[in-house]
């Protein structure tokens, strides 16, 4: 049996209860194996065990950074530093490197790095053909491209500091931190003035209730920001019907799974063999034949960052009303979207009809992109305060929830099919959450540097999120948008990020 040591500490909760915490640590692995919490008032003991996977994880031979496992026969000799091992691919007879890493072979004369992306290589004789179809090739600029037109303050984005906002928060004295928390709570209470955000449960089926959503009309243009694979547009189109017009904006080239689903749906009931095809030109416009031979449903994908999107130059929007939607638009992407819409209505008044944006990932908001700095200044918050508030928003969503049971027939087959590429913003948001979870510890009852309990931190984190969201509401109202409000569109049981910004500008 491995030897263990015990670390004992005492803490006092917000209700005055004293608790003694004993952490049992395995000396060999330096991992916690058990946590014992004793309530001194009731003399009750609670035991927590660490994750068995973490406790029983065996160290693989190639996990040793000083002695990595050597490559076997016919194995590539390229060392992958990130994984601390050699490449697993096989080599040709007499070669030391696989085809992908042949560029590192001094004797190689066949393969060269791709000029567009050094992460992959190409056979020298096929270079010309490869450059025509390489996924990393620079795309032609769209008609609506205007560099950084939706960024509010570029100088603020370029500022750098020695310490992160998270480190600055932890280094604050207890008195200064409590004052900062009080300032945020006072600002939140003043912004909402006792009003609560209503809950209106929405789902894909609600889109079919055309009487409730009278903004769904075929003559409007539907634009999805951060479209990804295009699932939200797919359900909007099912509700609106054909012919209609859709624009999908995303800076990454996804698998476009639901674009293909649109094609499949139209082809199933079509009597014309040519109607189930989707034609694509250099501008990424897809025309999907509808039941009427005289008109078409138009779907256009824009592979660009929202920060460079100028809607006033988009020809598809000419003389039409715009309905903007987005499902989980991460952090500053929401602020870029709101700035994009306001710039559009400044150039073309009364052009935006409806907006629906599901808000999320406030921890990766950036001051130079936040749409309403005047709102922050009104409550006495500067850039440093804003960055600290963004860090505190993680407290609302870093809690542990029970996993939802899979539906029948959806077990293992779902995993590989539904695996999608992740946005850079999503990866950054997950990194921020990971930091927050690590500092909070595995057990929510352990003492926290803030002096607040787990429940208090969760409630305070949600208020930080809603305080920033109210600044977005005021920004749209100040620029002439009507009926701007926040809504909880699902319960927290299904998503901790359950708040949406809705505009009914009709």
- The larger pLDDT score, comparing residue 463 to residue 295, is at 463
Mean pLDDT value across residues 108-123: 83
Would you state the pLDDT for residue 242? Answer: 83
Mean pLDDT of the chain: 78
**What 3-state DSSP class applies to 233?**
helix
Instruction: Tell which wins on pLDDT, 198 or 102.
Output: 198
Name, in order, each residue with C-beta under 8 angstroms of 112's C-beta and a sequence gap of 6 or more: 103, 121, 122, 124, 127
Contact between 115 and 121 under an 8 Å Cβ cutoff? The reply is: no
CA 200, CA 488: separation in Å to the nearest integer? 6
The number of residues making up the chain comes to: 506
Instruction: With a cut of 90, say whether residue 291 has pLDDT above it.
Output: no
Please check the confidence at residue 292 and state whether its pLDDT lies above 70: no
DSSP state of 63: G
Tell me the pLDDT band of 255, cut-offs 50, 70 and 90: low
Q: Round to whole Å and give the CA distance between 301 and 230.
A: 10
Is 270 strand, coil or helix?
coil
Q: How far apart are the first and last CA of the chain?
A: 72
Predicted pLDDT of residue 27: 67
The Cα–Cα gap between 233 and 223 comes to 8
Please check the confidence at residue 204 and state whether its pLDDT lies above 90: no
- Supply angle C-alpha 342, 281, 355, rounded to 5: 25
Report which of 322, 298, 297 is spatially closest to residue 309, judged by C-alpha positions: 322
Helix (H) or strand (E) holding 459: helix 454-478
Output the pLDDT for position 408: 45
Predicted local confidence at residue 425, as pLDDT: 55
Kindly list the domain boundaries of the chain, sorted by start residue: 4-55, 167-399+422-442+449-504
Q: Count of alpha carbons within 13 Å of 383, Cβ hemisphere only?
A: 13
More confident residue, 11 or 88: 88
Element (H, E) at 402: none
pLDDT above 70 (res 2): no
**Minimum mean pLDDT among 18-32, 65-79, 138-152, 345-359: which range?**
18-32
Q: Where are the beta strands (DSSP E) in 304-431?
A: 322-330, 352-360
Collapsing DSSP states into helix, strand and coil, what is residue 292?
coil
Average confidence (pLDDT) over 128-141: 86
CB atoms within 10 A of CB 80: 13
Write b or e for each residue in 274-293: b if 16 or more Cβ atoms lie within 10 A of its Cβ, otherwise e. Answer: eebebeeeeebebbbbbeee
Per-residue tokens: 198: 């209503």
Q: Rounded CA gap, 221 and 236, in Å?
A: 11
Class of 167-399+422-442+449-504 in CATH: alpha beta
pLDDT band at 51 (very low <50, low <70, confident <90, very high): low
Q: Is residue 381's pLDDT more than 80?
A: yes
The CA-atom distances, in angstroms, between 168 and each of 164, 431, 437, 464 are 6, 18, 18, 17
Going from the C-alpha of 201 to that of each of 463, 473, 499, the distances in angstroms are 21, 20, 11
Question: Which pLDDT value is given to residue 152?
Answer: 92
- CA distances 208 to 109, 204, 205, 450, 498, Å, are 60, 8, 6, 47, 21
- Of 407 and 427, which is predicted with more confidence? 427
Tokens of 11: 């803490």
Report which listed range, 63-67, 222-226, 425-429, is most confident.
Answer: 222-226
Least confident of 296-305, 335-344, 385-394, 435-444: 435-444
DSSP annotation of 487 reads E
Express each pLDDT in 389-401 by its tens digit.
Answer: 999 999 998 755 5
Task: Categorize the per-residue pLDDT at 270 as very low, low, confident or very high, splitting at 50, 70 and 90.
Answer: very low
pLDDT-derived band at 140, boundaries 50, 70, 90 = confident
- Residue 44 φ/ψ, nearest 5 degrees: -90, 140
Q: Considering only 245-249, 307-311, 403-407, which range has the smallest mean pLDDT?
A: 403-407
What is the Rg, in whole angstroms, of the alpha carbon atoms belonging to the chain? 27
Report pLDDT for 356. Answer: 93
Q: What is the pLDDT of residue 71?
A: 85
At residue 414 the predicted structure's pLDDT band, cuts being 50, 70 and 90, is: very low
Q: Where are the alpha helices (DSSP H) in 102-173?
A: 127-133, 154-157, 165-171
């Amino acid at each position: 049996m491995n030897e263990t040591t015990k670390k004992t500490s005492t803490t006092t909760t917000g209700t005055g209860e004293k608790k003694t915490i004993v952490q049992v640590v395995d000396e060999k692995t330096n991992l916690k194996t058990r946590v014992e919490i004793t309530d001194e008032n009731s003399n009750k003991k609670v035991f927590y065990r660490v994750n068995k996977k973490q406790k029983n994880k065996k160290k693989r031979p190639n996990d040793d950074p000083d002695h990595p496992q050597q490559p076997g026969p016919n194995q590539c000799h390229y060392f992958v530093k990130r994984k601390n091992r050699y490449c697993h691919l096989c080599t040709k007879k007499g070669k030391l490197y696989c085809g992908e890493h042949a560029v590192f072979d001094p004797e190689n004369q066949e393969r060269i790095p791709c000029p567009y992306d050094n992460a992959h290589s190409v056979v020298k004789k096929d270079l010309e053909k490869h450059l025509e179809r390489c996924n990393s090739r620079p795309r032609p600029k769209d008609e609506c491209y205007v560099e950084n037109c939706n960024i509010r303050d570029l100088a603020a984005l370029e500022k750098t500091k020695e310490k992160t906002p998270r480190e600055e928060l932890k280094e604050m004295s207890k008195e200064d931190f409590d004052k900062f928390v009080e300032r945020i709570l006072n600002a939140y209470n003043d912004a909402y003035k006792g009003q609560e955000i209503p809950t209106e449960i929405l789902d894909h089926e609600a889109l079919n209730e055309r009487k409730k959503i009278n903004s769904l009309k075929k003559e409007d243009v539907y634009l999805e920001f951060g479209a990804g694979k295009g699932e939200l547009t797919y359900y909007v189109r099912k509700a609106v019907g054909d012919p209609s017009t859709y624009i999908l904006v995303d800076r990454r080239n996804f698998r476009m799974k639901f674009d293909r689903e649109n094609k499949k749906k139209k082809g199933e009931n079509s009597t014309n063999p040519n109607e189930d095809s989707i034609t694509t030109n250099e501008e990424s416009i897809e025309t999907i034949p509808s039941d009427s031979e005289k008109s078409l449903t138009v779907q256009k994908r824009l592979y660009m960052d929202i920060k460079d999107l100028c809607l006033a130059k988009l020809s598809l929007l000419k003389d039409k009303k715009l309905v903007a939607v987005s499902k989980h638009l991460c952090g500053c992407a929401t602020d870029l979207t709101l700035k994009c819409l306001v710039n559009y209505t400044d150039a073309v008044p009364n052009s935006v009809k409806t907006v629906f944006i599901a808000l999320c990932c406030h921890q990766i908001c950036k001051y130079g992109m936040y749409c309403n700095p005047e709102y922050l200044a009104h409550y006495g918050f500067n850039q440093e305060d804003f960055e600290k508030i963004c860090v505190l928003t993680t407290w609302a969503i870093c809690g542990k929830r029970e996993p939802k049971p899979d539906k029948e027939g959806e077990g293992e087959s779902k995993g590989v099919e539904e695996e999608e590429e992740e946005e850079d913003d999503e990866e950054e948001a997950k990194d921020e959450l990971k930091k927050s979870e690590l500092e909070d510890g595995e057990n929510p009852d352990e003492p926290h540097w803030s002096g607040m309990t787990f429940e208090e931190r969760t409630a305070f984190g949600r208020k930080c999120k809603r305080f920033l969201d109210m600044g977005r509401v005021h920004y749209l109202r100040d620029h002439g948008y009507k009926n701007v409000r926040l809504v909880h569109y699902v319960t927290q049981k299904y998503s901790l990020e359950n708040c949406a910004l809705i505009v009914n500008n009709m």
